[in-house]
Amino acid sequence: MLKKILVLTILVILLTACKTKEKERIDEEKFLFGTYIKITTYHEHRGEAREAMEKAFDEIERIDKKFNSHWNNSIIDKLNKNPRVGVKLDAEGQMLFDEVDRIYKLTEGKFDITVEPLMNLWGFGREDVKLPTRAELDETMEKIDYRRVVREGDHISMEEPLNEIDTGAFLKGYATARAKVILAEEGIESAFITTISSMETLGPKPDGPWRIGIQDPSNPREILEIVNLDGQAMGISGDYQTFVEIEGKRYHHIIDPTTGYPVTDKKLVAVICKDALLGDLYSTAFFVMELEDVMEYVEANEGLDVFIVDEDSKIITSSGFEKYIR
């Protein structure tokens, strides 16, 4: 009898120990997409978590090499080098361009991934910058028109005068979303993935939701708001993230292709939605759209919320945003 009680006691202790083992925080960071991407997980077994995180980083790198317009011999790089000949898109590529098509139409042409000639004219990535003249802007704008991107079945090409597509407005978001899928498939239940402008959360932390600060675009060292996420994604576009300074004035990188100038009526747009691809797309789209159109669209679409800082530093949020700041 004593032996049976002893065995049962040991069994109960072992089961209790297994059940109450705390999840450990594991952080990993890698340089991909020209920036540092960080993954944080909470898991009972460090080795299993690191293996899952490595697979997630591998997926991000796969997408980077496959589609990034700035990666030599990627699908989009090949398209940019032979725009009239074009390339073949697989199902993944077609899905991405389906989303780009949809957002282009939503913004009535203001979200345009052929805008790279304007970026070059403004001098992003260069030191020798100057304010473009109206004549230079008009000439450059003639080289931008997503309607001249031709898709026929699984084939994509560009008509004259287009020569370049840029994937910067959406690809990091897609890679972040895919990393979350990989982590979930590997049994991770609590994770945070960030590229700074694109974020994904997988479940909550052990002690509650993931708390993410939204920077003040007028003073990025300060936090305007803290949002609580549990499984949602967030995309952020701001006028403080990438800019050039000309004659003492800053000009940011979110350009309206219908005017040739950076958008001036907003300083920041943060979007909360179901995955980081949509977060990336919508944060840029909403930045270039009229404020009234943004709010009307968001209120009509469930699972989509927005936080906007306008040109006067006034904060505007969708009706559902409050639930994330409780």
CATH number at residue 103: 1.10.3980.10
Could you list the beta-strand ranges (E) of the chain.
Answer: 24-32, 35-43, 87-88, 149-152, 155-158, 191-194, 198-202, 210-216, 219-229, 233-238, 243-246, 249-252, 266-273, 305-310, 315-317
> pLDDT band at 1, cuts 50/70/90?
very low
Which of 176, 202, 228 marks a domain boundary?
Answer: 202
DSSP 321: G
Residue 60 φ/ψ, nearest 5 degrees: -60, -45
Q: Has residue 9 been placed in a domain? A: no
State yes or no: pLDDT of 10 exceeds 60: no
pTM, full prediction? 0.90
Residue 249 φ/ψ, nearest 5 degrees: -120, 140
Q: Are residues 31 and 115 in the same domain?
A: no
Q: Are residues 158 and 97 in the same domain?
A: yes
CATH number at residue 274: 3.10.520.10
Give the contacts of 81 (CB within 8 A, at least 6 positions apart).
none
Query: What stretches of 30-156 show up as alpha helix (H) in DSSP?
Result: 46-67, 75-81, 91-106, 116-122, 134-141
Q: Are residues 147 and 216 in the same domain?
A: no
Q: Has residue 161 been placed in a domain? A: yes
Q: Report the number of distinct structural domains present in the chain.
A: 3
pLDDT, averaged across the chain: 92
The reported pLDDT for the residue numbered 34 is 87
Q: Has residue 14 been placed in a domain? A: no
Tens-digit pLDDT profile for residues 106-127: 999 999 999 999 999 998 877 7
Q: Are residues 36 and 119 in the same domain?
A: no
Q: What is the mean pLDDT of residues 250-262?
A: 93
Q: Are residues 189 and 213 in the same domain?
A: no
Cβ pair 310, 263 in contact under 8 A: no
Q: Which SS3 state, helix, strand or coil, does residue 98 take?
A: helix
The reported pLDDT for the residue numbered 247 is 87
Q: What is the residue range of 134's domain?
A: 74-167
Q: Are residues 38 and 129 in the same domain?
A: no
Q: Are residues 78 and 157 in the same domain?
A: yes
Tens-digit pLDDT profile for residues 188-232: 999 999 998 999 999 999 999 999 999 999 998 999 999 999 999
State yes or no: pLDDT of 262 exceeds 60: yes
> pLDDT band at 326, cuts 50/70/90?
confident
Burial category of 55 from C-beta neighbours within 10 Å (exposed 0-12, middle 13-18, buried 19 and up):
middle
Q: Are residues 304 and 232 in the same domain?
A: yes
Q: Has residue 114 been placed in a domain? A: yes
Q: Has residue 13 been placed in a domain? A: no
Cβ pair 31, 193 in contact under 8 A: no
The reported pLDDT for the residue numbered 248 is 86
State how far the Cα of 87 lies from the Cα of 78, in Å rounded to an integer. Answer: 7
State how far the Cα of 63 lies from the Cα of 30, in Å rounded to an integer. Answer: 14
Q: Among residues of the chain, what percentage have pLDDT more than 90?
A: 86
Tens-digit pLDDT profile for residues 47-91: 999 999 999 999 999 999 999 999 999 999 999 999 999 999 999
Q: Among residues of the chain, what percentage have pLDDT more than 70?
A: 94
Q: Are residues 86 and 138 in the same domain?
A: yes
State yes or no: pLDDT of 9 exceeds 80: no
Q: Has residue 16 been placed in a domain? A: no
Q: Are residues 183 and 323 in the same domain?
A: no
Neighbours of 259 (CB within 10 A): 13
Dihedral in degrees, nearest 10, Cα atoms 178, 179, 182, 183: -140
Q: Are residues 193 and 302 in the same domain?
A: no
Q: Are residues 78 and 160 in the same domain?
A: yes
Q: Has residue 8 been placed in a domain? A: no
Q: Has residue 159 been placed in a domain? A: yes
Cβ pair 233, 240 in contact under 8 A: no
The reported pLDDT for the residue numbered 21 is 67
> pLDDT band at 242, cuts 50/70/90?
confident
Which letter, b or e, does each residue of 301-310 get, where b requires 16 or more Cβ atoms within 10 Å of its Cβ?
eeebbbbbbe
